[in-house]
C-alpha cells in the first residue's frame, strides 16, 4: 500500500496545490480559464495523441471493453437520477448529479495516473472510456437535464447540442488522430513530434493543478449564490456512489461478462475498474453552471470525491493489483 501511495501522492498533491493557490488568490480566478484552455486545447490533446499513437488499435477500439463500460455508465446514470429526484432536486440537478456519479476524471487525471501505476498498456482502455463518457454519458445527462422545462422534443434538441459540443472538444479528435497513427504506422516529422512531446509532458502537472483551481473557483462561486446550507444527503450519497458503487458495478458486470464468454482481457477490466474508481470529472461543474443546475451541489460532490479518492482509489489499486 505504501508503494502505491508513493505513486498516487504527487498526483493528488498537485490538485491540492492548485486548490490552495486559487483559494489564497495566489492564482487569480480570472487566470483559471487560461489554464483550462491551455490544458484542454493544447497539452491534453497532445498527450492523448501520443498515448493513442503508441497503443495498438485493438486496445483503443476494444469492442468487449465497450460492451462492458457502456451499460455500467447507463446504469449509474439511471440509478442516480432515480434515487436523486425529489421535491428539491428536479431533472436538471438530478441529471448533473448523475453525470458526476458516472463521469470519472479520466482525461485530466486518470490516463497519466493509470499509466504510472500499471504501465503504458493501461492507456488503451482508459482512452476508450473517455470517448464513451464525452460522447454518450454527457449527451444523455444533458438531454435528461432539459426534462424540467421541455418535452421530449426539447430533450432531443439538448442531446444534439451536447453531441455538437462533444464534436468541438479536441480530445476525441486527438484520440482519433492517435488511432490513425497507430493503425497506419504514421508519425509526424521529428520537429513536430518534439513540439507535441513538450506539450504532452506539460499536460499532467498543469491539468492536475488546474483541477484544484477549478474546484476552488466552483466552490467560491457556488457559495456566493447560496442562501442556506446544502443538506449532506443531497451530495454525500452521490460521492459514495462515484467512488464505491461505480467501480463495483464495472467489476461485477465485467466479471459476469467474462464468465459468460466475452473475450475481455482481465487487464483491460482492471484498468476500467480503476477508471471508475477515479473522482468525478471537474469539468462537470462548468457544464452545470452553463445549464443552470445547482453548481454548489456539483462542486461539493467533485471536491468530496477528489479528496476522498486519495485513499479510496489507492485502496482499489491495492486490491486489484
Q: What is the dihedral of CA 168, 27, 200, 194, to 10 degrees?
A: 110
Distance CA 269, CA 93 (A): 31
Query: Which residues have CB under 8 Å from 176's CB, separation 6+?
Result: 52
Given a contact cutoff of 8 angstroms between Cβ atoms, the answer to whether 76 and 141 are in contact is no
Q: Give the right CATH number for 2-320 from 1.20.120.80, 2.30.30.90, 3.40.140.10, 1.20.1530.20.
A: 1.20.1530.20
pLDDT at 296: 85
Q: Which three cell numbers stand for residue 17?
A: 496545490
Q: What is the dihedral of CA 264, 57, 202, 306, to 10 degrees?
A: -20
Distance CA 102, CA 249 (A): 11
Q: Which three cell numbers stand for residue 233?
A: 444527503
Distance CA 313, CA 296 (A): 24
Neighbours of 259 (CB within 10 A): 8
Q: Which three cell numbers stand for residue 207?
A: 491539468
pLDDT at 149: 65
Distance CA 207, CA 201 (A): 11
Provide the 3-class DSSP secondary structure of residue 38. Answer: helix
Provide the 3-class DSSP secondary structure of residue 205. Answer: helix
pLDDT at 154: 60
Q: What is the pLDDT along the chain (321 residues), one digit of tens a residue?
A: 778 889 999 999 999 999 999 999 999 988 988 998 999 899 999 999 999 898 888 888 899 999 999 999 999 999 999 999 988 889 999 999 999 999 999 988 999 999 999 999 999 999 999 999 988 999 889 888 888 765 555 666 666 766 676 677 888 889 989 989 988 888 888 899 999 999 999 999 999 999 999 888 887 776 666 656 678 888 999 999 999 999 999 999 999 999 999 999 999 999 999 999 999 998 888 788 778 888 889 989 999 999 999 999 999 999 987
pLDDT at 158: 65
pLDDT at 153: 54
Given a contact cutoff of 8 angstroms between Cβ atoms, the answer to whether 51 and 178 are in contact is yes
What's the pTM value of the predicted model, to 2 decimals?
0.89
Given a contact cutoff of 8 angstroms between Cβ atoms, the answer to whether 91 and 152 are in contact is no
Q: Which three cell numbers stand for residue 119?
A: 504501465
Distance CA 224, CA 31 (A): 19
pLDDT at 283: 83
Distance CA 205, CA 266 (A): 30
Q: How many residues does the chain have?
A: 321
The number of angstroms, rounded, from the C-alpha of 25 to the middle of its chain's C-alpha atoms is 26
Q: Which three cell numbers stand for residue 262?
A: 466475452
Amino acid at each position: 500500500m505504501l508503494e502505491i501511495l508513493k505513486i498516487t501522492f504527487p498526483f493528488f498533491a498537485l490538485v491540492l496545490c492548485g486548490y490552495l493557490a486559487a483559494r489564497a488568490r495566489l492564482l487569480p480566478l480570472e487566470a483559471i480559464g487560461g489554464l483550462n484552455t491551455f490544458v484542454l486545447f493544447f497539452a491534453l490533446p497532445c498527450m492523448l495523441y501520443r498515448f493513442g499513437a503508441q497503443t495498438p488499435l485493438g486496445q483503443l477500439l476494444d469492442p468487449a471493453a465497450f460492451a462492458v463500460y457502456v451499460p455500467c455508465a447507463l446504469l449509474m446514470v439511471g440509478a442516480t437520477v432515480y434515487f436523486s429526484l425529489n421535491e428539491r432536486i428536479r431533472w436538471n440537478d438530478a441529471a448533473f448529479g448523475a453525470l458526476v456519479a458516472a463521469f470519472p476524471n479520466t482525461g485530466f487525471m486518470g490516463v497519466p495516473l493509470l499509466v504510472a501505476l500499471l504501465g503504458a498498456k493501461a492507456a488503451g482502455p482508459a482512452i476508450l472510456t473517455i470517448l464513451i463518457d464525452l460522447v454518450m454519458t454527457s449527451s444523455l445527462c444533458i438531454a435528461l437535464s432539459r426534462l424540467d422545462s421541455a418535452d421530449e422534443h426539447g430533450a432531443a434538441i439538448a442531446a444534439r447540442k451536447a453531441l455538437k459540443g462533444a464534436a468541438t472538444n479536441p480530445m476525441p479528435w486527438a484520440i482519433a488522430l492517435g488511432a490513425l497513427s497507430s493503425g497506419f504506422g504514421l508519425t509526424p516529422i521529428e520537429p513536430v513530434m518534439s513540439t507535441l512531446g513538450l506539450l504532452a509532458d506539460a499536460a499532467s502537472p498543469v491539468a492536475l493543478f488546474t483541477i484544484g483551481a477549478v474546484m476552488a473557483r466552483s466552490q467560491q462561486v457556488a457559495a456566493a449564490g447560496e442562501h442556506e446550507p446544502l443538506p449532506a444527503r443531497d451530495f454525500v450519497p452521490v460521492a459514495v456512489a462515484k467512488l464505491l458503487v461505480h467501480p463495483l458495478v464495472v467489476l461485477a458486470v465485467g466479471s459476469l461478462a467474462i464468465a459468460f464468454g466475452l473475450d475481455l482481457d482481465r487487464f483491460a477490466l482492471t484498468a476500467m475498474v480503476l477508471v471508475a474508481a477515479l473522482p468525478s470529472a471537474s469539468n462537470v461543474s462548468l457544464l452545470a453552471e452553463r445549464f443552470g443546475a445547482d453548481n454548489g451541489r456539483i462542486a461539493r460532490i467533485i471536491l468530496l470525491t477528489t479528496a476522498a479518492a486519495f485513499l479510496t482509489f489507492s485502496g482499489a489499486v491495492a486490491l486489484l493489483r
